[in-house]
């Protein structure tokens, strides 16, 4: 197939669907109890050098407990896929965990401003980057979920974003029109936070799913953190609601308030004061190190982190904000 133009940056992962099929052929399909702690999940499924993707949208419905655990376990040289990655990216930069990244949006925390530390890390050159757009990454995951080696779209055309990507421009065999071919990507592991899961990994999500349904299908291993575990009758009574079925999932970790300090739709709003503290403290590297020690490295569990940040009183306040009861 003739390639009309191609991005200059390398692909970090093999887009061959047969390597993925070979893996999935051996993946367990039986419904077994997959509960474990976040520590066990990171030990088992996120080794140094593996390629990771994080669900949610930066500071919304993110698996914070897994991210903290990755830092505590001092994981290094990770690959990373980030469409709009904000607090998740900030955390991984804080731990200097990353080596090569496929990204669309980094450094920023949207309306909150930019992360000084993530910017330092990015400008230091310690991380290899391949440029994409949010939809381009969505198409790459979707193609993997479809078991094919590429998907097509009409974005990035004519721009430097395309030049600094790993995409190729091809011609449609039916219309002769140009399309960007986006290579499928099967991350080694994905961590996704959901509202409810049963012990087998069947999941419910309320509100937007971002690109997590594609991600759960593309990733070779899936770690689920859930606000709460539910009986599997809660799954079977309304199978229309299941968005991630058990056979995709390798680990189920119950983590109430697991997206904190991020927003969890219908549960709690983001802790803007705490996120703002991150951005402020990052300005001074020495102070930031103490901050990281206090909130992550010297902390033994996610529950302890929640307590440090204000415990139940704070969480009640964030619930009220989410539900807008105090307007």
Partner 1 sequence: MEPGYNKIEMMICTAARFLEDGKTVAVGTGAPCAAAMLAQKVNAPNLVIIFEAGGLAPLLPQMPISVGDSRTFFRGIMAAGMNEMMTTCCRGLVDYAFLGGAQIDKFGNINSTVIGDYHKPKVRFPGSGGANDFASFCWQTLVITVQNKTRFVEKVDFITSPGYLTGPGEREKAGLPAGSGPYKIITNLAVMGFDPETREMMIESIHQGVELIDVLENSSFKPIIPEKTSITPPPSERELQILRREVDPNRYIIGRQ
Where along the sequence are the contacts to its own copies (CB under 8 A)?
A: 1-3, 11, 15-18, 146-154, 168, 170-175, 177, 179, 181, 183, 205-207, 239-240
Site map for partner 1, 224-253, x if CB under 8 A? -----------xxx-xx-x--xxx------
Distant-in-sequence, close-in-space partners of 144: CB < 8 Å, separation ≥ 6: 17, 20, 184, 185, 186, 214, 217, 218
Q: How far is the CB of 205 from its own copies (least distance, A)?
A: 8
Which one of the spans 33-41, 109-117, 289-297, 312-320 is the region binding partner 1 (CB under 8 A)? 109-117
Residue closer to its own copies (CB basis): 16 or 231: 16
The entry of its own copies, partner 1, none that residue 134 binds, CB within 5 to 8 Å by partner kind:
partner 1
Give the footprint of partner 1 on residues 118-177 (CB under 8 A): 119, 122-123, 125, 131-136, 138, 142, 144-148, 153-161, 164, 169, 177
SS3 225: strand
| Both structure tokens of 171 | 């011609």
First-to-final CA distance of the chain: 59
Residue closer to partner 1 (CB basis): 77 or 238: 238
Give the footprint of partner 1 on residues 263-282 (CB under 8 A): 263-266, 269-270, 272
Cα separation, 111 vs 26, in Å, equals: 44
Q: Could you tell me if 86 and 60 are in contact, meaning their C-beta atoms sit under 8 angstroms apart? A: no
Residue closer to its own copies (CB basis): 238 or 293: 238
Q: How far is the CB of 291 from partner 1 (least distance, A)?
A: 22
Count CB neighbours of 194 within 10 A: 29
Q: Could you tell me if 85 and 313 are in contact, meaning their C-beta atoms sit under 8 angstroms apart? A: no
Q: Does 73 bind partner 1 (CB under 8 A)?
A: no
Q: How far is the CB of 185 from its own copies (least distance, A)?
A: 11
Cα separation, 66 vs 271, in Å, equals: 18
Q: How far is the CB of 85 from its own copies (least distance, A)?
A: 23
Integer CA distances (angstroms), 43 to 4, 70, 181, in order = 44, 9, 35
Cα separation, 94 vs 90, in Å, equals: 6
Residue closer to its own copies (CB basis): 17 or 82: 17
């Amino acid at each position: 197939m003739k390639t009309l133009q191609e991005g200059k940056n390398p692909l970090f992962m093999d887009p061959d669907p047969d390597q993925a099929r070979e893996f999935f052929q051996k993946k367990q399909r039986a419904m077994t109890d997959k509960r474990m702690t976040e520590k066990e999940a990171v030990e088992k499924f996120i080794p140094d050098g593996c390629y990771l993707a994080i669900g949610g949208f930066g500071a919304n419905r993110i698996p914070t407990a897994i991210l903290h655990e990755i830092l505590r376990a001092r994981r290094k040289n990770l690959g990373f896929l980030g469409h709009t990655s904000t607090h998740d990216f900030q955390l991984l930069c804080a731990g200097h965990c990353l080596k090569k990244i496929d990204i669309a949006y980094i450094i920023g925390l949207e309306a909150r401003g930019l992360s000084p530390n993530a910017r330092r890390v990015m400008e230091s050159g310690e991380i290899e980057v391949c440029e994409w757009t949010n939809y381009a990454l969505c198409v790459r995951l979707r193609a993997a979920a479809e078991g094919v080696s590429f998907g097509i779209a009409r974005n990035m055309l004519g721009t430097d974003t395309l030049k600094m990507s790993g995409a190729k421009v091809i011609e449609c065999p039916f219309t002769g029109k140009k399309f960007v071919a986006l290579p499928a990507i099967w991350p080694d592991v994905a961590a996704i936070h959901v509202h409810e899961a049963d012990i087998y990994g069947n999941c419910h999500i309320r509100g937007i799913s971002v690109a997590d349904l594609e991600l759960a299908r593309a990733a070779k291993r899936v770690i689920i953190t859930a606000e709460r575990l539910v009986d599997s009758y809660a799954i079977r009574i309304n199978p229309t609601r299941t968005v991630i079925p058990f056979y995709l999932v390798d680990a189920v970790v119950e983590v109430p308030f697991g997206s904190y300090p991020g927003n969890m739709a219908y549960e709690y709003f983001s802790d803007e004061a705490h996120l703002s503290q991150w951005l402020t403290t990052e300005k001074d590297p020495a102070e930031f190190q103490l901050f990281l020690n206090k909130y992550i490295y010297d902390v033994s569990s996610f529950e302890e982190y929640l307590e440090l940040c204000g415990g139940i009183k704070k969480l009640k306040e964030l619930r009220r904000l989410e539900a807008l009861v105090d307007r």
